[in-house]
């Protein structure tokens, strides 16, 4: 694959010393020019893995201030996402959301369904800020891809980003659910290459975003997936670079 600029739509920044340097170093080594970044370390990964299967949630607060400050220190390479905690309310997002470019809500972490009034309160603010909303769905009442599609259909003014291309590695069913809802786009970290190809074919390249989910996956692995697909350069440029700028309201250098 010809070397070209890449925008990683969704990386995580764990709290603690050296996290920013490690992220920027990984980006530099993988040819990632820019990245959207949200707080990491909100839940222990073993706990999260259990929650995905058995249910449950945490009420931990993401370090949104740390993400904001890291983005300011990155020289424009990082674009901050506010990670909403429905258990704590919207006051922080209301006060500081204008310094962020997107909202993330995670039923997998905080356990609050997409049809909950606490979710609606965040979505109302996101619409006011003009923020896209990043969501990771899971197979639980109120948290499925079908629930996201229904929600997005009622909120056409907001762009929703379906994280990890749905649930599991081959969620072509989920692709079909969001296909008729044009304000839902997908990011592809973790999905099989086959599923990425299906998403591009059914949704169009303008509704697909590259992501690697640092630090869980090296960007080089996700980029190799695209290389193996043998996609034409104009399409790759759209998925790997231009779509993220458009959806986040950023100028593309």
pLDDT number for residue 1? 44
- 61 close to 85: Cβ distance less than 8 angstroms: yes
Domains for the chain: give ranges and CATH numbers.
7-248 (3.20.20.140)
- 103 close to 122: Cβ distance less than 8 angstroms: yes
CA 158, 159, 161, 165 dihedral sign is positive
- 223 close to 215: Cβ distance less than 8 angstroms: no
State pLDDT tens for residues 236-246: 999 999 999 99
**Alpha-carbon span 242 to 240, nearest angstrom:** 7
**Alpha-carbon span 246 to 248, nearest angstrom:** 6
pLDDT number for residue 45? 82
Burial 8-17 (b: 16+ CB within 10 A, else e): bbbbbbbeee
Q: What is the mean pLDDT of each run of 10 residues along the chain (253 residues)?
A: 82 92 96 96 84 88 96 97 96 98 95 97 98 96 97 98 95 98 98 97 98 94 95 95 97 78
What is the DSSP annotation of 8-27? EEEEEE-SSTTHHHHHHHHH
CA 218, 148, 57, 86 dihedral sign is positive
Structure pTM? 0.95
Indicate the Cα dihedral angle 39, 42, 46, 49, nearest 10°. -70
State pLDDT tens for residues 132-142: 999 999 999 99
pLDDT number for residue 154? 98
Question: Phi and psi of 86, rounded to 5°?
Answer: -60, -20
Task: Count CB-CB contacts under 10 A for residue 27.
Answer: 22
Question: Looking up tokens 């893995």, which residue turns up?
Answer: 49
Structure tokens at 221: 């692995």
**Alpha-carbon span 216 to 233, nearest angstrom:** 27
């Amino acid at each position: 694959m010809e070397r070209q600029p890449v925008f990683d739509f969704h990386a995580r920044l764990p709290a603690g010393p050296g996290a920013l340097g490690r992220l920027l170093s990984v980006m530099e080594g993988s040819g990632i020019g820019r990245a959207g970044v949200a707080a990491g370390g909100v839940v222990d990964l073993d706990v999260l893995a259990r929650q995905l299967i058995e249910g449950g949630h945490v009420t931990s607060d993401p370090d949104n201030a740390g993400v904001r400050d890291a983005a300011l220190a990155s020289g424009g390479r990082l674009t901050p996402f506010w990670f909403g905690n429905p258990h704590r309310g919207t006051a922080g997002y209301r006060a500081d959301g204008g310094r962020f470019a997107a909202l993330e809500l995670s039923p997998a972490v905080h356990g609050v369904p997409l049809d909950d009034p606490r979710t609606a309160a965040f979505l109302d603010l996101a619409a006011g800020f003009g923020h896209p909303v990043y969501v990771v769905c899971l197979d639980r009442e109120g948290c499925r891809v079908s629930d996201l599609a229904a929600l997005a259909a009622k909120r056409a003014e907001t762009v929703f980003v379906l994280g990890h291309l749905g649930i599991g590695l081959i969620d072509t069913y989920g692709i079909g659910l969001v296909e008729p809802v044009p304000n839902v786009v997908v990011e592809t970290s973790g999905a099989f290459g086959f599923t990425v190809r299906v998403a591009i074919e059914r949704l169009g390249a303008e509704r697909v975003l590259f992501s690697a989910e640092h630090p869980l996956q090296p960007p080089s692995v996700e980029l190799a997936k695209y290389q193996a697909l043998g996609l034409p350069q104009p399409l790759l440029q759209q998925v790997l670079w231009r779509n993220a700028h458009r959806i986040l309201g950023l100028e593309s250098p």
